[in-house]
Structure 1
């Protein structure tokens, strides 16, 4: 499928479908936090920092639904729940790193363009 066909929505738009899910405010941060290791919810919450428990829970649920994250519940008292990347989630790390690298490299240019735009407006 070429980009024009994908963007036109013919047969569903895989770009919109995937970006709607992983392009939110928290998904990339969750995936990046899980890259090196399996984590429990509270550790993940501390690693990300400024996400609420409710939003982290919602984000993890969506990432699990889409197959990026696996949730493992251990029958212990108290119950222990851990989150890890699936093979699909790990495969996404390659394009995710490229996107993060691009953003890191070009962020000053984006900021300069915004400032120039505001100055003209």
Structure 2
């Protein structure tokens, strides 16, 4: 169903950057710059968009401190902490089975590279 709530949530959670941001926050609040350095390869624009999406979904809290320049910290909400438990299980599964998946991909790629043979060819 196109308008299914779970589909909308899964669309959010399927993002690589959402998974990595969520995985970086379980140990407590983190400032934007620290988070960006920890997530090697993410652009400032993508991190900003990802954090806004997570804040909008109620998974991340944004706290602004009245300093010059303003300091901003991001932390998980209780809902986000609940999700991180599931994501951690997924990460453990991926690490446990990563080699099997790599081997399966290699077998598939090898078969796909073979020339196509006619059914009645001998």
Q: Deviations over 1:45-101 (max 9, x none)?
A: 011111011100000000000011000111221111110000000000111111111
**1:76 corresponds to 2:106:** no
TM-score (norm 2): 0.87
C-alpha root-mean-square deviation of aligned residues, in Å? Answer: 1.3
What residue number does 1:93 align with? 84
Instruction: Determine the C-alpha separation between the residues in 1 that align with 2:42 and 2:31.
Output: 15
- What TM-score results when the alignment is normalised by the length of structure 1? 0.88
Unaligned runs of 5+ in 1: 1-8
Greater Rg by CA:
2
Structure 1: distance between partners of 2:75 and 2:85:
17
Question: For residues 76 and 13 of structure 1, what CA distance do their matches in structure 2 show?
Answer: 39
CA, structure 1 residues 39+113, in 2 after alignment: closer, same or farther (shift >3 Å)?
A: same
Which residue of 1 is the match for residue 9 of structure 2? 18
Unaligned stretches of 5+ residues in structure 2: 113-122
Q: How many residues align?
A: 112
Name 2:23's counterpart in structure 1. 32
**Offset of residue 117 of structure 1:** 0.5
Matches of 1:58 and 1:85, distance apart in 2? 16
Q: Which runs of 4+ in 1 moved over 4 A?
A: none
